[in-house]
Amino acid sequence: MKNTTLLRTLVSVVAIVLLIVHILFPKAVVDAISLGLLLVAILPWLSSLIQSAKFPGGWEITFRDVEVAAQKIVSSKKRPRRIKKTDKKKVEKLFLPELDANLLLVSLRIEIEKRLRLLSQKHGIPEDRSIRRMFEELRKRQILEPSILSGLDDLISAGNRAAHGGSIEPGAATWAEEVAPEILATLDEKIGK
């Protein structure tokens, strides 16, 4: 999470410096550019308070969706087994640093779905069902806690939005990459891997 704080600080400092330069030189008029730069300086610090922001031209930032979804999974009553170094290495292969935020979330979504299908198969639920139907059956049979299912549903939805070109904050993907081993370990424990 230190990288996220560093990035926030860097973005804020750059935006504030640009705002000061803009105010000092072009006749000290507070215009749309000044307000936009001020917004860019403040926005990273508001991510814990707001869920998303939409800007003209279709640019959208989603802050909390991924973080809240994963928190539902990892804060369940039963803690997953300790994450082995080999598990972390496997996840690192899935999430290459050069991939963009959308691809990271799509990769996580795919890994979650693979594990859900294995878990369903283990419990006699037809694996050719849609994710929604698998969720209903896993909930009905009490195989996964409601908080885990809710978090998985939110992460799969975020992965679907990312797959279809939706904008995701790069910090959200970095965060998802950091907690992915724990999310996947939770599912692996349920599968019995």
- pLDDT (tens digit, 9 = 90+) per residue, 120-171? 999 999 878 888 888 889 889 999 888 888 888 888 888 888 888 777 766 6
Torsion of CA 116, 121, 123, 124, to 10 degrees: 140
Task: Using a pLDDT cut of 90, give the percent of the chain over it.
Answer: 8
Q: Quick check: helix, strand or coil at residue 51? A: coil
Instruction: Please state, in angstroms and rounded to a whole number, the distance separating the CA atoms of residues 191 and 98.
Output: 31
Integer-rounded Cα Rg, in Å, for the chain is 20
Task: Please name the residue ranges forming H helices in 99-143.
Answer: 101-122, 131-140
Across all residues in the chain, what is the average pLDDT?
73
Residue 182 clears pLDDT 80, i.e. is over it: yes
Sign of CA dihedral 183, 189, 190, 192: positive
Give the pLDDT of residue 123.
Answer: 92
Q: Indicate the pTM of the whole model.
A: 0.53
Please check whether residue 43 is in contact with residue 61, taking contact to mean a CB–CB distance below 8 angstroms: yes
Residue 183: the pLDDT is 84
Say whether 184 sits in a helix, a strand or coil.
Answer: helix
Average pLDDT, integer, range 100-115 = 84
Asked if the model's pLDDT at residue 181 lies above 50, the reply is yes
Confidence of residue 115 (pLDDT cuts 50, 70, 90): very high
Cβ pair 184, 111 in contact under 8 A: yes
What are the tokens at 106?
Answer: 């799509």
Q: How many CB atoms lie within 10 A of CB 49?
A: 8
pLDDT at 97 over 50: no
CB proximity list for 129: less than 8 A, separation 6 or greater: 120, 137
Q: Which pLDDT tens digit goes with each residue over 4-27?
A: 677 677 777 877 887 787 778 776
Closest CA to 74 of 165, 187, 182, 171: 182
